[in-house]
Structure 1
């Protein structure tokens, strides 16, 4: 039986690939990692795979599924699953499993880092020190997280973990907007639930996005909603780029409504070098790495092997 990891970068996951190959070999599986260009059909070397692991940049829709003649399972080891057509998998009777767990801590730590960088103006301070400029007398704008209101939009695996990691910082309120979460789940976390997103954001100093990309969440953060953000508020996006209308964010930053936009994800990836976000003084960017760490890779392989072993046992 064959398993294939699908990605678009020959430099991506080098450490992961070698470890996955060894782990799946112990299950008796042939393993291959294939790199392709966007828009290409799956290469013949992977078309006979029984299990695939598609990276977020490798979309799996009906067209791609038609090329996999032996496909029985799809591992989705990412925070989101918008790159995979789950309905098409179900129609074809193909098993799938979503494994967001290993990345949760890393995404939460990256989110908190962005909160602190924005509040403490750390990138600006680092840049000035690199230039030999001493700006100790220009830090009036730095803020604490303690005593502020933080909005978490989306209360799935990552949002829940984030709320518990934020609690020791003693924010005044950790507000949550998620129309799909059950009330009994919310009761187990140090949060206050809001029925309406507009009501939450207009009270919040920091708004952080952790919802999946769906038709209802696409362009969720737009000009109309941004008008209700408090002045100098901070918007953080470690979820998916298209949840935010980037040009509306630019307008809000330039108008002085939004104070900072910190993002790890973009509507277009990789971000073009000349893109306005890479140069804007109140935008903090990282290249879609919020969910990565050495520890994440270790746990991811454990979870992948566990999921595949369950499939193999069921398929015997």
Structure 2
């Protein structure tokens, strides 16, 4: 008979997946635990398994408190909130939900691409109040035929590429971890591009890279200036990769044709006057990978993998 383990879940998880874990082990499920640091540290001390999303920082004091933990389950794919090497040094297995939210993120990217290129979906109040801005909104751009540049060609980038091909877009990709002759480019039919070439040629640039030292500040003012005039920038990866002030400046000058930003240096994003009333800017609160279906897939994937690791 399997010994019952103690599982602490610090952020929201599909409650059916929680119930699956609770049927076999002792579970503390508190989606607000992430915001109570003293209690989090206390509960972590007796946890055999810790399950987190992106806000729980599994490092420093929290990592030190994990005295008997064997597994950290990540309800998502980014691991920048987890000291992976520190976990490994303590014999703790880190399990991400690789691929489970790729479809959700990809749909967000494609929807943002179409919305920002067309520019026709901001007139509701004007039309409802009797205005008719037809001429002003008649210069929107079609998605078909445009070049989509994907930076980071893992499971999410590849899913975006398949969808973009279906819309008739030309797709090019760069991944610092892959060479031009990597099998994935042949298998997907996507053209490999250097980073500089991609930035200069793409009508839409979408970022799917982890936050590491080589990607921190990747899209600074100089790289944004090197983009095509009127191009669109989409960031669903991590904050600190894109300079938001440079984005706002480029949008106001008209150099950038649009931007969709789902991730920020600090979350929640503090009030920022420079981003308010900024043209062609879409901001969302780190939800590109969080839909009903994606949460279900992520939660059950981690529940299954945690149970497998405990057995």
**Alignment partner of 2:10 out of 2, 6, 25:** 6
Kept in 2: contact 1:218–1:243 (CA 8 A): yes
The answer for the alignment partner of 1:71 in structure 2 is: 69
Asked if structure 2 preserves the Cα contact closer than 8 Å seen for 1:23 and 1:301, the reply is no
107-116 or 58-67, which deviates more: 58-67
- The partner residue of 1:177 within 169, 174, 181 is 174
CA contact under 8 A between 1:77 and 1:100: conserved in structure 2? no
Q: Residue 122 and residue 81 in structure 1: after superposition, are their counterparts in 2 closer, same or farther (change >3 A)?
A: farther
Partners of 2:44 and 2:71 in 1: CA distance: 14
Q: Which runs of no fewer than 5 residues in structure 1 stay unpaired?
A: 8-12
Q: Is the 8 A contact 1:21 1:31 kept in 2?
A: no
Paired with 2:56 and 2:127, the residues of 1 have a C-alpha distance of 40
State the shift of 1:199 in Å. Answer: 1.1
Contact 1:164 1:190 in 2 (8 A): no
Instruction: Report the 3-state secondary structure (helix = DSSP H, G, I; strand = E; otherwise coil) of the residue aligned with 1:249.
Output: helix
Which residue does the alignment assign to 1:281? 279
C-alpha contact (below 8 Å) 1:263/1:284 kept by paired residues: yes
From 24, 30, 33, the equivalent of 1:33 is 30
Check the 8 A contact 2:44/2:65 in 1, yes or no.
no
Q: Of the candidates 295, 298, 308, which is equivalent to residue 296 of structure 2? A: 298
Query: In angstroms, what is the RMSD of aligned CA positions?
Result: 1.9
Instruction: State the Cα deviation string for residues 89-116 of structure 1 (Å, max 9, x = none).
Output: 1111111111132211000001111001
SS in 1 for 2:263: coil
Give the SS at the match of 1:262: strand
Q: Which has the higher contact order (CA 8 A, sep 6+)?
A: 2
Residues 128, 290 of structure 1: alpha-carbon distance in 2 compared, 3 angstrom cutoff: farther
Q: 1:11-62 CA distances to partner (integer Å, 9 max, x unpaired)?
A: xx3xx35323211022334232252466934342343111111221111113
Task: Give the one of 4, 19, 32 matched to 2:16.
Answer: 19
Partner of 2:190: 191
CA distance in 2, matches of 1:104, 1:27: 29
The CA distance in 2 between the partners of 1:298 and 1:184, in whole Å, is 31
Secondary structure, aligned partner of 1:241: coil
What is the CA–CA distance in structure 2 between the aligned matches of 1:201 and 1:276, rounded to whole Å? 25
Q: TM-score, normalised by structure 1?
A: 0.90
Look up the match of 2:52.
Answer: 54
Deviates more, 1:182-191 or 1:239-248: 182-191
Offset at residue 275 of structure 1 (A)? 4.2
User: What secondary structure sits across from 2:264 in the alignment?
Assistant: coil
Residue pair 1:277, 1:285 contacting (<8 A) in 2 also: no
1:309 aligns with 2:299: no
Alpha carbons 1:174, 1:190 under 8 Å: kept: no
Equivalent pair of 1:32/1:46 in contact (CA under 8 Å)? no
State the match for 1:10 in structure 2: none
Is the 2:9–2:27 contact (alpha carbons within 8 Å) kept by the matching residues of 1?
Answer: no
Task: Report deviation, 1:279.
Answer: 2.6
